[in-house]
Chain A
């Protein structure tokens, strides 16, 4: 188990405290149909329209497992460099809740499909920390209760009932709110690369239970509290910070922490105890008699491993090696698979550094500004490549390149056609530029005087020339000609 760095410690009245965090992440498996029934999994359907008699727990119904969900769990295990268990068992976890028609959740208790693994988490300061994975198991999701439809009643929709989830349990290796956020970010990125979970936290495809305890640095582990169902990365950080401080205050006031389940309220920024969960913690797990043990062959696992896509860490290393990108640029591109794919489609045959800058600053900048998804980008990778090619061969200036992107972004159209139709080609013809330079020098004797003493003010002249030529003049030629004419 790692020690916290000094920056991660929280100071209290009795000295520094270390936060110890473990996460249980529930990731909805990408599959067309449910874990044990043929009903659909699509988000946002009409209430109870994607429910089979199995999902509604009608008497006599039997579960039959979805082979794709098994494959997705194994792929995820491989992506987490984890032990794949060739034999695993489904158990019943018994509890009562209105959105759980069976009265039990089919889950895996003592023999999960995936065992120990690890995730290398990249931190904002450029460092990294390795978080151990304890296990990953397959289980059914519950239905959804809506509490805001009626003052006295809750409404239950079973569309989500029976959808496959992967519960991914980390070891208590996380030491700060920032690390917890970075871990979930990295985990989500891996799941998206694998295509095993869409990672969409707004729709509940990824949610976390956060276990928090505090201790004196390197001291004995404290009693932990579990914060249930935290559904955004930002909220995970807030919940950890609040909970750690709450526990430190109790201990320093002479109190003791009781193990309990808590809820984080985003409106108040506080956690509070969930009374109902306490006695219900006795889940009386036992093997589900409707399901045989899940047995896989090593060949099956090897075949899935052979077809695994390239994952973020390896892509990062390749981007640095093959494209000579800086670590930071590779970080930004690799964090989002679609951005990484887009970059590769743009970069081929061009200066990779220029392509990376373009994708990060121009393309991703516009996407973030408009809050759109990469898949909705209005200017294709090919079109962006064309713009960069025109810049590289001197057809257009760097400034005009951005204008062309703006035009293509708003109005559509082929960049080469845009440049041609609007006459945006760069002017490198020195005769034409010289004419403009002469005019500007003649019209501004004061600035000419100034630049002799302060050569840095040459920039003003460059700006004037660019303005006069509508940004089309080749900046290099402009500089050369200005220096020559001004005798600098």
Chain B
């Protein structure tokens, strides 16, 4: 699969990563290379094989419905660059 520059820019925008024109060109080649390397797996016939979801045969763990966590707003916002009254403060996002 060939990744073109428009795709690089689209992915970058979705991931909120700013890329320069020169970088976009570089990533075009790098991403194409990575995908082509992974594409070698297409040679294996996986028809009728269930996707493996875990290395060991096991069931998903479940919790009982109890409140066991929370109550430390100070810790939650401790690393926030901006905060006020235990809220995170971010640039205005409103439509």
Contact = CB atoms under 8 A, between A and B. Distances in A.
B58, B64, B82 pick with most chain A CB within 10 angstroms = B64
A263 B85 CA distance: 30
Interface in A45-93: 46-54, 56, 64-70
B48 interface: no
B76 A98 contact: no
B18 to A, nearest CB: 13
Interface residues of A, number: 55
Which 4 A-B residue pairings sit nearest by Cβ, starting from the closest? A38-B68, A68-B65, A39-B70, A38-B69
A50 B70 contact: yes
Given A157-B87, A282-B14, A294 B70 contact: no
12 contacts: A31-B65, A33-B65, A50-B71, A53-B76, A64-B61, A150-B89, A152-B92, A153-B82, A153-B89, A154-B92, A154-B94, A282-B10
Contacts of A263: 95
B53 A153 contact: no
Contacts of A291: 60
Interface in A232-279: 263, 274-276, 279
A279 B13 contact: yes
B77 interface: yes
Contact of A64 (B62, B77, B84): B62
Binding site of A, secondary structure by majority: helix, strand, loop or mixed?
loop
Interface stretch (A141-149, A218-226, A423-431, A433-441): A141-149
Contacts of B54: 292
B-side interface mostly: loop
Given A49-B86, A149-B87, A33 B68 contact: yes
Nearest to B75: A53
A17 B77 CA distance: 52
B41 interface: no
A280 interface: yes
A447 interface: no
Given A52-B70, A153-B92, A279 B14 contact: yes
A228 B14 CA distance: 21
B86 A66 contact: no
Interface in A1-55: 31-33, 37-40, 46-54
B87 A146 contact: yes
Interface of B: 10, 13-14, 16, 53-54, 58-71, 73, 76-77, 82, 84-95
A158 interface: yes
Interface of A: 31-33, 37-40, 46-54, 56, 64-70, 94-98, 145-147, 149-150, 152-158, 263, 274-276, 279-280, 282, 284, 287, 291-295
Contacts of B73: 46-49, 51
**Most chain A C-beta atoms within 10 Å of own C-beta, residue among B67, B68, B94:** B67
Given A32-B67, A295-B59, A98 B93 contact: yes
Given A65-B63, A67-B65, 15 more contacts: A33-B65, A48-B86, A53-B69, A54-B69, A65-B61, A95-B14, A98-B90, A147-B93, A149-B87, A153-B82, A153-B89, A156-B89, A276-B95, A279-B13, A292-B54
A292 B58 contact: yes
A49 B93 contact: no
B94 A147 contact: yes
A67 B66 CA distance: 10
Contacts of A279: 10, 13-14
The listed residue with most B CB atoms (<10 A of its CB), out of A154, A263, A291, A295, is: A154
B66 A38 contact: yes
A158 to B, nearest CB: 7
Contacts of B69: 33, 37-39, 52-54
A96 B66 CA distance: 30
Contact of A65 (B14, B60, B66): B60
Nearest to A71: B65
Contacts of B90: 98, 145, 153-156
A295 B91 CA distance: 42
B55 to A, nearest CB: 11
A292 B93 contact: no
A41 to B, nearest CB: 8
B91 A67 contact: no
B61 to A, nearest CB: 6
- Counting chain B CB atoms within 10 Å of each CB, which of A70, A98, A284, A295 scores highest? A98
A385 B63 CA distance: 44
Given A40-B70, A293-B53, A68 B64 contact: yes
Contact of B91 (A153, A158, A276): A153
A158 B87 CA distance: 9
A399 B17 CA distance: 75
B88 A155 contact: yes
Contact of A32 (B61, B66, B94): B66
A147 B85 CA distance: 15
A146 B58 CA distance: 42
Contacts of A153: 82, 89-92
A280 B82 CA distance: 26
Contacts of A67: 62-65
B10 to A, nearest CB: 7
